């Protein structure tokens, strides 16, 4: 037998949680305004943060020139039994073996990642494993639809951090926060090119843990990530290199890895570990 919930409890929950039942003497408009202010302050902080940062979040498209293969056939016995009708009857009129040969190349998208712009003249931070293939061609796609050819300008020797450079001016940029003041339970917002298909995807969660050490592999690399944030904001393949931000729209981490087979366990490099690299990039760009 199912437990019965007292009607009074349901009514109270509706009043406190949703603000749907008007009190005597209050207009519907007043109740709606109170309800809106109670339920959207937190949401509005997230919306504002995403609006502030999204223009500076980029999708990185990874392409390569791959060979075009065409199929053809050879007859290994051609000419050997032209004058021997018995052998021709045995092998039949034709004995073909399929072969493949290259017929030029074509450019194909083979992967993708994320990044964020730190200077108006086109310096973009991302993960090293995103741009690790020296034979690949990298294209940056902005949230407003603009595309730029990108060149790798830096790869850190100590962190899974790298930078791309595009030839542009007056680009939107992010604000770097202070990851030293981040606390467990704090709201975390991840933005990136999820699955290398859905650009500027937003996912919201919290900082789940601090100073984690994990072994990560991807992009032909295997490394140990130390002192990284753990978050339950959904981070998918393709989110690598994108920003993890707070509700003020400040970048507090760089999304870098996800635990396979887990439920929303992702990791981000604290932005304070990246700031010295960013400063060097900006000084060299000037």
The one catalytic residue in 160, 179, 203, 208 is 160
Under a CB-based contact definition with an 8 Å cutoff, are residues 54 and 191 in contact? yes
Give mean pLDDT, residues 2-7.
40
CATH of domain 173-285: 2.40.10.10
Residue 270 near residue 231, CB atoms below 8 Å:
no
Quickly list DSSP for 92-133.
-S---EEEEEEEEEEEEEEEEEEEEE-STT-EEEE-GGGG--
CA distance 239 to 257: 9
Dump pLDDT digits (tens) for 115-142. 999 999 999 999 999 998 999 999 999 9
Whether 240 is catalytic: yes
Q: Catalytic residue, from 54, 59, 129, 203: name it.
A: 129
Confidence (pLDDT) at 21: 39
Judge whether 171 and 121 are in contact, CB under 8 Å.
yes
Sorted by where each begins, the domain ranges of the chain are: 173-285
Q: What's the whole-number mean pLDDT along residues 92-97?
A: 66
Beta-bridge mates of residue 65 = 107
63 is catalytic: no
Cα distances from 118 to residues 26, 46, 142, 285, in angstroms, run 50, 21, 13, 11
DSSP states of 36-52 as a string?
Answer: HHHHHHHHHHHHHHHHH
Q: Is 160 a catalytic residue?
A: yes
Is residue 22 very low, low, confident or very high in pLDDT (cuts 50, 70, 90)? very low
pLDDT for res 262: 76
């Amino acid at each position: 037998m199912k437990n019965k919930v007292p009607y009074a409890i349901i009514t109270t929950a509706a009043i406190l949680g949703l603000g749907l039942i008007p009190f005597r003497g209050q207009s519907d408009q007043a109740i709606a305004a109170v309800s809106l202010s109670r339920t959207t302050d937190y949401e509005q902080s997230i919306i504002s943060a995403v609006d502030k940062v999204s223009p500076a979040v980029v999708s990185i498209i990874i392409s390569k020139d791959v060979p075009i293969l065409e199929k053809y056939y050879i007859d290994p016995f051609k000419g050997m039994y032209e004058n021997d009708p018995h052998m021709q009857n045995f092998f039949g009129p034709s004995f073909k073996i399929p072969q493949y040969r290259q017929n030029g190349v074509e450019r194909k998208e083979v992967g993708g990642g994320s990044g964020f712009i730190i200077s108006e003249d086109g310096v973009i931070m991302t993960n090293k494993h995103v741009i690790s293939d020296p034979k690949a061609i990298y294209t940056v796609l902005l949230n407003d639809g603009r595309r730029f050819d990108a060149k790798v300008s830096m790869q850190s020797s100590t962190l899974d951090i790298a930078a791309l450079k595009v030839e542009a001016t007056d680009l939107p940029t992010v604000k770097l926060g202070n990851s030293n003041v981040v606390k467990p339970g704090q709201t975390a917002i991840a933005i990136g090119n999820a699955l290398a298909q859905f650009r500027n995807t937003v996912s919201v969660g919290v900082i789940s843990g601090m100073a984690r050490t994990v072994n990560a592999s991807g992009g032909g690399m295997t490394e140990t990530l130390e002192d990284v944030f753990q978050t339950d904001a959904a981070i998918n393949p393709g989110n690598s290199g994108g920003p993890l931000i707070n509700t003020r729209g400040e970048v507090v981490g760089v999304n870098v890895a996800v635990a396979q087979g887990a439920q929303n366990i992702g990791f981000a490099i604290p932005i304070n570990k990246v700031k010295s690299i960013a400063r060097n990039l900006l000084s060299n760009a000037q």
